[in-house]
Structure 1
């Protein structure tokens, strides 16, 4: 019963399983953010439908992504500052 599933990338190593979960949690968080943006853009939900704490978290992540995007645009393909 303690055998890993055939499609389990972490195998039997508990630390590897924890790391795999952490990676997929981050990936799933990004998918969830994108899904929320799509649903808002299509008018399925309103941003204000979310509780204030969730709104604050979404706004903080959007601001962080925007800042990162601006900083990355300052670099050209060779990594030199434009």
Structure 2
């Protein structure tokens, strides 16, 4: 069940990003607690993505 929950949360985050991108939703529309949680999750994903980026983009593969 927790894997389904995590997938659903990611869908909601993507939906929020899409609504923000097309102007349907503004960051100021979100309650401060929701905005904080959204920012924390984005930062965690960014850190994880950076830690998994093992190959420099400028390096060629052998």
* TM-score bracket relative to the smaller structure: 0.7 to 0.9
Greater gyration radius: 1
Equivalent residue number for residue 49 of structure 2: 69
Q: Which structure has the higher relative contact order (CA within 8 Å, separation 6+)?
A: 2
Shift of 1:70: 1.0
Unaligned runs of 5+ in 2: 56-62
Give the TM-score normalised by the residue count of structure 2: 0.82
Unaligned runs of 5+ in 1: 1-20, 77-82
Structure having the larger proportion of residues in helix: 2
Aligned with 2:31 (options 51, 57, 76): 51
Shift of 1:48: 1.3
CA displacement, residues 42-81 of structure 1 (integer Å, 9 cap, x when unaligned):
10100111100000000001111111111111x14xxxxx
Aligned length: 55
